Amino acid sequence: MTSMNRERDTRDTDDPAIDVELIDDSTESVLAMRLGTSTRTDIERKAPIQIGHLERLLAQELGSGEDAAAREQIRKAHRLIDLLHRPAPDAPTFEAFFFLRDVAAMTRRLLRIHGQKSGGGAG
């Protein structure tokens, strides 16, 4: 089992370019998944991608210095993807599924904040 276990995603998160359309489509795809029809393999394949999107957004300047709401979302995002809070490889599929959905939903929230800060109005 890969993805959500105790290994960090090693993708480059230093690239400042955020592909809003790609992230939006990717998170939409995850949020359209259904628990009863999603396999653990599907979930584990998508989790590192979603975590990577979220990490890339967290590497951006999201205005946390002057915006308490943004600061709170950033704090929640860091906690969500902390290695200690990810589902273990032997966790039930529903736990992995809801973790994946939570990461996608948080990514969309930070994408909106990014859009507001960059003037793009994402989301």
Q: Which domain holds residue 31?
A: 20-118
pLDDT tens track for 90-123: 999 999 999 999 999 999 999 999 888 777 554 4
**Residue 3 lies inside a defined structural domain of this protein:** no
DSSP string covering 56-67, please? HHHTS---TTT-
pLDDT at residue 12 tops 50: no
| pTM metric for this prediction | 0.82
Q: Determine the longest span between alpha carbons in the chain, in angstroms.
A: 42
Looking at the structure of the chain, the number of domains it has is 1
**Residue 102 lies inside a defined structural domain of this protein:** yes
What's the average model confidence in pLDDT over 61-68? 77
**Residue 9 lies inside a defined structural domain of this protein:** no
**Residue 4 lies inside a defined structural domain of this protein:** no
**Residue 64 lies inside a defined structural domain of this protein:** yes
pLDDT tens track for 33-56: 999 999 999 999 999 999 999 999
pLDDT at residue 69 tops 60: yes
